[in-house]
Structure formats: C-alpha cells, structure tokens
A = this chain, B = another copy of it.
Amino acid sequence: MNETVTIVHGEEELFRRAGHLFATATDFACAADGLAGWMTDHTADPVAAATTSRLGSLRVRKLYRPELLLNSASARELARRRDEFGAQIRVTTERINETIVLDRRVVILAGDLKAGRRGYSVIAQPEIVQGVMSLFETAWRSATDLAVYDARVAEIRELAPSVLDLLSQGVKDETAARTLGLGVRTYRRRVAELMTALGAESRFQAGVRARELGLV
C-alpha cells in the first residue's frame, strides 16, 4: 500500500488492506458516532488483538458523542474498555466524522454507505494526516472526560429535574416558578444554570441538548 490515499469499501476490505497498520500502531486516536461497525466485534478486532498484547506501550484516545451514553449497555461497554485497556475516553457535543488516526501517520476516514458497505479513505499523505490530526486534537481538547461528563449529567439531573419538566411542557416562567413555589428570579436562575450546564446559548438549543442527553 504505497499510495498515499486508498479508498476501500466495507470493513472486510479495510481489515484486509489496513489490518497490519492496526497491529503495529501504538498511538490510536479515534472519533466515532457509535460503537457500531468495525469496533463492535471485539474478538475479531485488530485493535483489541494489538492492545492486549502490548498493554502499557499504547496510547488510545476515543471521542464519542453523548447519545452513546443514553444506552446504558453502550455506556457500560465504554467504561469496560476504558478500564480494560486504559483507553482515554472523552465526550463531545460537536458533530464528528468517524475518524481514526494511527501513530499520527495514517488517517482512516469513514465515508458514506454505498450498497450496504461503508467506504473508508485510508490516507498516509503527511499534510492531510497533519491537518486531520490537528482537528482531532482540537476536538479532543474541547471534549470532556467520560467520568466528568457522567458526573455532570448526574448533576444536571439532580439540579433541575422539575425545571426540565416545566420547560419541556412549554409553560411560562411565571407559571413554572409558582408551580415550584419559587420566585421568578430563582426559577430563571435555575434555567440559566441549566443552560450553562448544557452548554446552550438559547432555550431552543437547550431543548435539543436536553433531549439529546435523554434528560427529558
């Protein structure tokens, strides 16, 4: 594989053509929409194989979107991976493309599904790798550690379950405040805290985020 850019179709071909890269890499940076696809089948996974045999010399970073944590099964799976082979896991609310960077030398980008198989671009072109890597680093820095994220979600749930209910019922602040036996000022303070916690800049956005996080 001397070409700097190769397109492969489906996971099988990806393994066949790029499996050796996984086997030798020591630095994995990985962004994913879900646990789906090539990362799911753990036993047949080159990364897993590589990992278990070379624990300690590895750096594994994974970046996920928060939806993943809604499903408690995937959440547990995440925690297991983190514990099992020392992967660092962070969560971001940004939209991310499925991306893998190996040893800062090779990038694998997932493309669209075609005829039931996903296309992957395997890229060794240094400039491109550099660019993707810097994007990844940015996303990584702006992301939240899984543990912190979990704690925050727990906090929000505790902070304002009733506020969330009232907001999602579409009631006015006045009504909501009285319902809770609070002053309007305090209620709005709660909403503001909630929005901060959700990282939202408008109530619409807060609604979207809350729904994303499964809080409503």
Q: Which residues of B sit under 8 angstroms from A202, Cβ to Cβ?
A: 167, 170-172, 203
Which single residue of chain B is at the shortest CB-CB distance from A212?
B211
Interface centre among A171, A172, A211, A216 (most CB of B within 10 A): A211
Output the least CB separation between A197 and chain B (Å).
14
Interface of A is mostly: helix
Which of B169, B200, B201, B205 contacts A205, CB < 8 Å? B169
Which of B171, B203, B206, B208 contacts A210, CB < 8 Å? B208
Cβ of A207 under 8 Å from chain B: yes
Output the least CB separation between A184 and chain B (Å).
15
Number of identical monomers bound together in the oligomeric complex: 2
Q: Which residues of B sit under 8 angstroms from A172, Cβ to Cβ?
A: 202
Q: Which residues of B sit under 8 angstroms from A24, Cβ to Cβ?
A: none
Q: Binary interface profile of A, 67-95, with partner B (CB < 8 Å = 1, else 0)?
A: 00000000000000000000000000000
A204 and B207 form a contact (CB under 8 A): yes
CA distance A202 to B208 in the complex (A): 12
Output the least CB separation between A72 and chain B (Å).
11
Interface centre among A167, A171, A202 (most CB of B within 10 A): A202
Q: Which residues of B sit under 8 angstroms from A168, Cβ to Cβ?
A: 204-205, 208
B201 and A211 form a contact (CB under 8 A): no
Q: Which residues of B sit under 8 angstroms from A210, Cβ to Cβ?
A: 204, 207-208
Q: Which residues of B sit under 8 angstroms from A208, Cβ to Cβ?
A: 168, 207-208, 210-211, 216
Output the least CB separation between A212 and chain B (Å).
6
**8 A-B pairs whose Cβ atoms sit less than 8 Å apart in the complex:** A170-B202, A171-B201, A172-B202, A205-B207, A207-B209, A207-B210, A208-B211, A208-B216
- Supplied contacts A171-B202, A211-B211, 7 more A-B pairs, CB within 8 Å: A167-B205, A168-B205, A203-B203, A204-B207, A207-B208, A207-B209, A211-B212
